[in-house]
Structure 1
Amino acid sequence: MKKNQKTNLQLRQKMEEHNHTPQTLAESIGVSVQTVNSWLGKRKGISSKYGEKLEALYGESIETLLEEVVEKAGLGILHLDTSIALQPTSDKVAQTNFMNTIVQSVELASIKSHLTNEQYDTLNTIYPDGNCYIWGVRNGKAPNEPTRRQYEKLSVNDVILFYQKFRFYAKSRVTLLMTSQSLAKQLWNDESFCNIYFINEVQSFNLSVIQFNKVVYKDEREYAVMGFKVLNDEQSIAVFNEFELDSIEDYAVVEEVVEQTSAMDEETLREKLLEMLVNLEGKEFLTTDSKGQGRAEQHILRALLYGKKDKSVCECCKREFPIYYMKTAHIKKRKFTNDEEKLDVNIVFALCPTCDIAFENGDIYVEDGYFKVNNRAYPDDLGAYLSKYEDTVCECYNEHNKQYFEWHKDHHLVRIPK
């Protein structure tokens, strides 16, 4: 199955029919690759000048090319436009490059001469502090240039997993693509690294290649990752679902709404997200399994809970964390909810990872608006740690969610010996 064959534009299907990648389409009509990706991601409109070129190229009106196509794919709504790419960094050159242009970052001003005005403006928006993170891959051996062909499958928002010594150790997300020998020469003193992608700041990740191979290839042997590769749809969805990569903020469907509504106030954005949540009900084409449906709901609930915030305070311990670190904690476990409750934004609240584990296990609960510690026979250290939450206020407790907190208390207390 080809990439992005589930919910997309007619334009993408026409590209596939003509064996066009974003790179080859960009070259044929005289625009940048990121412009094509912006069209496909519906983040940017198509001017009349290029609309006419597309109409001539594909024999369809621009209105038709911009129509959405929805097909039954059974792969879930979460990552319709997101693939997983594997980036080995095992040799010394790769390790040095990783340190120099990802760990240490690159000043945008220092590479401006290699960028178009459009690229520079886009990157300034993506990296407001002026520091970006860059990687480049070679074409691969002629005449087939296999790595180059893999690179052409890469799109903005795809997730990169960095690999070394039989483990994936870091993850990030693609923000912009470009080809430039001169930039590669400046950054790595090697113009062959000309297939360049920019990424978000990397996050730590820990996954053995054995676990990965078992999920992707149904083979538990310790096969090494030998070259840059973009996984197909089925493989990518399997990795997303098995290893829960959503902490990287790659929930493409919800994220696209947030990006497109950057000028909206929080109330308008909330209304749109609520509409998305309601529209999930009865949409069987979105996913053929309850796990995928649940993850779709989870991402929308998360966006509703945190909105456009960069940081949030844990409702229990009152400490502030970056949003990517926070959890969207279900007060009532999803498997016990009815259809109406699944789509109720009041069923979740904001917790840090530590407090989320304690709440999930029933070690702490909420009663009449106050956190309580369960009466288990705790080990001394755990009991001492949890005791500080006894009788602290749960500020988000209200008339809309109290029934869920009561369910959580009853569900866990009846299972704990007095």
Structure 2
Amino acid sequence: MPPERIPVVVIGGGQAGLSVSWYLGAAGIEHLVVESATLVHAWSDKRWNNFTLVTPNWHCRLPGHVYDGPDPDGFMTRDEVVDWLASWLRTFTPPVREHTTVTRLRQLAGDGFELTLSGSDGPRVLHCEQVVVATGGYPLPITPPFAQSLDPAVTQLHSEQYFAPEQLPDGAVLVVGTGQSGTQIAEDLHLAGRTVHLAVGNAPRVARTYRGRDCMTWLSDMGIYDTPAAQYPGGKAAQEKTNHYVTGRDGGRDIDLRRFATEGMHLYGHLIGGKDTRLTFAPTLTASLDAADATYNSICADIDAHITAEGIDAPPPSRYRSVWEPADEPTELDLAEAGITSVIWSIGYRPDYRWIEASAFDGGGRPMQTRGVTQVPGLNFVGLPWMHTWGSGRFLGIDRDARHIAEVIAQSLDPAALDPEALNTEALNTGRRFRLAAGQ
């Protein structure tokens, strides 16, 4: 069959790709969204049952769809997020081809791209002028090489496969990693009465509320989420750090690993190796806890400075003080002796763009882009962490990022067609139909 021709193809039907589709559709630009499963499926398929957002509900902003529920300072549960996204999808009709995977994307010798698709109707080929890759920054879950050397009697899951304590066999659980997922899963198991062992990484933490408001609301007021990546303090090193751990569960609270230790949770440093039932840890626990608390207090100090500079009336400042110190640094653990029957890996994800044949990636396999636009004409990305700001990849920044990509595409397809006056704040806030292209 001859290749199907479509001006723009968006690969990925999550909230980022669909946001670009929303703008392209409003502009009357023909396009297609290709999704390997179903739209926004990751929210129901890859979050545990007691998952909640860690950012306040008022951060939830998508094109034409802003959270307007009764609890803007609260934190939606997984099911509430799924319902909120479903209500957004009822407001427009994106052109979607679901259960279809792009197995190859290559740049054509002239202009444009060729996409090879695999779906229920067999392989197909698409040709397009513009591509938006919205498959997420890090789709492949990481497990360490030695995981396959552990005792096969021990159940192993990645954090995206965990849903509830009941799915695990009886016995203690080892959670590896203390990013947002690892700490919240450890808490979920702890609250369910399971004995939890936790390998602590180098993730920082943040207070849930400070001086009368949510910390993320203070940070938003301070412009932290709007600062372009190139201007962000600390540069690349700051951007590479794991996100701060905190929870929105039960209305939101701090996650204090030291307090968990006083309640019976077993803490260790970095997990560096293992075989059969024996694991080895680096003696990094004290340093990791101290560093996380230092970040916590540093953020509070930054908020103090903002409050003083703006003359804001707020409750008095405070600092976190340790409630527990490790008596020693355990470096070995026998899973069988500790009664550990399950291991949950929560050590992150890695990029996988091997299916894209284009010179748009650095040595680590990450896209080289500026606000989602690469040096390869017509190849764009959306939904990446730090694509433009710290808010990129979050609900708070997706609308702005998607709108920018849609503008770039519209100008590329017809440089004379863009109508800047049509892209006004009122149209974005109300979700009214607007024009990117003149005369439409």
- Which protein has the bigger helix share? 1
Higher RCO (CA-CA < 8 Å; seq separation 6+) = 2
State the TM bucket, normalised to the shorter chain. under 0.3
State the TM-score, normalized to the length of structure 1. Answer: 0.23
